[in-house]
Amino acid sequence: MSACFTCHGAESTSVAPSDCALCHPPGFSLKPASHDQAFFSGGHARVAEVQGTDDCFLCHTGGKEDFCQACHGLDMPHPGGWALDAGGGPGAHVATAHQDATICVRCHDNSGATPQGCFGGECHGS
């Protein structure tokens, strides 16, 4: 689809409209085959990390501020100072976890008592 978007796009500078129905017939699934359960339960984070999010926003409008935050509930990827602050102390994640830990478990698997077991020990260790 990125080939299509070289001409078709939502920007005012695009030379052709971004209406997918111009080429795709009714009933055609616009959802890529890669968007399966495995993709959403962890794969999309790796894709975004490696490839960036430009391709995501060809279809998903709103960018990080609207589209990503709607599911994640916070800035993604985590901003600087998230895990640790500039002095090496606990970063902003602590306040967010105390405020609403359900935000964390949207992506992380919490399997033990905090802080050592927090999210399988992926950050704090066991």
- Between CA 125 and CA 23 the distance in angstroms is 51
Same domain as 91, residue 42: no
Long-range contacts, 73-76 (Cβ 8 Å, 24+): 73/100, 73/103, 73/106, 74/103, 76/48
106 within some domain: yes
Q: What local confidence, expressed as pLDDT, does residue 126 receive?
A: 46
Distances (CA, A) of 82 to 9, 89, 91: 34, 10, 5
Give the pLDDT score at 31. Answer: 82
Give yes or no: residues 55 and 90 share one domain: no
> Has residue 68 been placed in a domain?
no
**The total number of structural domains that make up the chain:** 2
Q: Does the structure show a pLDDT above 80 at 68? A: yes
Domain span at 115: 78-126
Q: Please report whether residue 71 resides in a domain.
A: no
Query: Is the domain of 53 the same as that of 96?
Result: no
Query: Residue 112: its pLDDT value, please?
Result: 60
Q: Does residue 48 form part of some domain? A: yes
What pLDDT digit, counting tens, does each position of 16-66 carry? 777 788 788 888 888 887 888 878 776 787 788 788 887 788 778 777 778
40 within domain boundaries = yes
